[in-house]
Structure 1
Amino acid sequence: MALPSPDELRDATCVACPGQSLPLGAFDVAARPGPAIPYSPEHGHRVAAGTGAPTCVHPYRVGVPPAPYASAGAPLPAADTPAPPVRPADLELPADPTLLEAWLIAVLRAAPPALLARTLHRAEAAALQRFDPADVTAALRRALHG
């Protein structure tokens, strides 16, 4: 697994992620969002209440497994370490339409190549149940533009 470059990290992460401004290793990575890792307007990203460490809550976006990289000095994975598996439960449809593009990208990256078309169809159908069709179309265009 190659670790993402700073530009790739910024492109893959959401606006509430410390990966927007900090390099890998300078923030912790948690398995998922929760009340113990709220967004801090003061810091401009999520901060773990227990440690005060900047924390990303989407390991599939940053490409490293959950670990206390900043707060406990956990080493980043070696280049030959397989990427962390993405579980469907990690890919919950966001409540905010501005996060829809990132969700679509994550869903498609997690899909086996043979199931890509089916995954795209299901992701679009799920998004249309929650969001305005214009928002879904715009997010799909951005996510699929390559």
Structure 2
Amino acid sequence: MPMSAEELRDATCIACPAQVLRLGEFDVIDRPGAGSRYDPELGYRVETATDTAVCVHPYRVGLPVGTYCSTGMPVPAATQDPLAPTREALELPQDVVDLEAWIIAVLRAAGPGRITQALGAAEALAAERFGERDVVTAMRRVLTVELARQH
């Protein structure tokens, strides 16, 4: 069963087009980078070359990488198993906007039996690059949304 609009908003970043658009109304790429930027007027990321709305965390939105909006690629049927984060998703981000997604990637890669250790390690590593307030904010959202999803 596909996620409801509310579940999709909870599962995705604040800079994700899934916050305001339906599945299929944006493309999905493998990670943030120079090919996408946040557009504050729209409230989500877009591909820099085409201005197409784009999600940069496939494992969060629950869709594989695809050109759903720009080429009309069909949205696949929902599965019960969440997508696994890529190796690149497990690299500590440069931008604080991607911190929450990184923590979620770390937790999903660790698996249910190692969540406590993964949370502690993620918090310590994030604190080396980001301010305490940013780390706490990201951790709170992850704890209230992602951990609830896992149970």
CA contact (8 A) 2:62 2:83 kept: yes
CA contact (8 A) 2:29 2:58 kept: yes
CA contact (8 A) 1:13 1:19 kept: yes
Helix, strand or coil at the partner of 1:38 = strand
Structure 2 CA distance for partners of 1:126 and 1:88, relative to 1, 3 Å = farther
User: Gaps spanning 5+ residues in structure 1: where?
Assistant: none
After the TM superposition, which residues 64-143 of structure 1 pair with which residues of structure 2 at under 5 Å, given as runs? 64-80=63-79, 82-97=81-96, 99-143=98-142
CA contact (8 A) 2:126 2:135 kept: yes
TM-score by length of structure 2 reads: 0.77
Cross-structure match for 1:17: 16
| Percent identical | 51
Taking the aligned partners of 1:137 and 1:45, their CA distance within structure 2 comes to 23
CA contact (8 A) 1:4 1:62 kept: no
Taking the aligned partners of 2:67 and 2:15, their CA distance within structure 1 comes to 18
After the TM superposition, which residues 4-43 of structure 1 pair with which residues of structure 2 at under 5 Å, given as runs? 4-43=3-42
Helix, strand or coil at the partner of 1:84 = coil
Structure 2 CA distance for partners of 1:61 and 1:117, relative to 1, 3 Å = same
Once the 2 structures are TM-superposed, how far is the Cα of residue 88 of structure 1 from its aligned partner? 3.4
Structure 2 CA distance for partners of 1:8 and 1:92, relative to 1, 3 Å = farther
Give the aligned CA root-mean-square deviation in angstroms: 2.5
User: Gaps spanning 5+ residues in structure 2: where?
Assistant: none
Aligned length in residues: 145
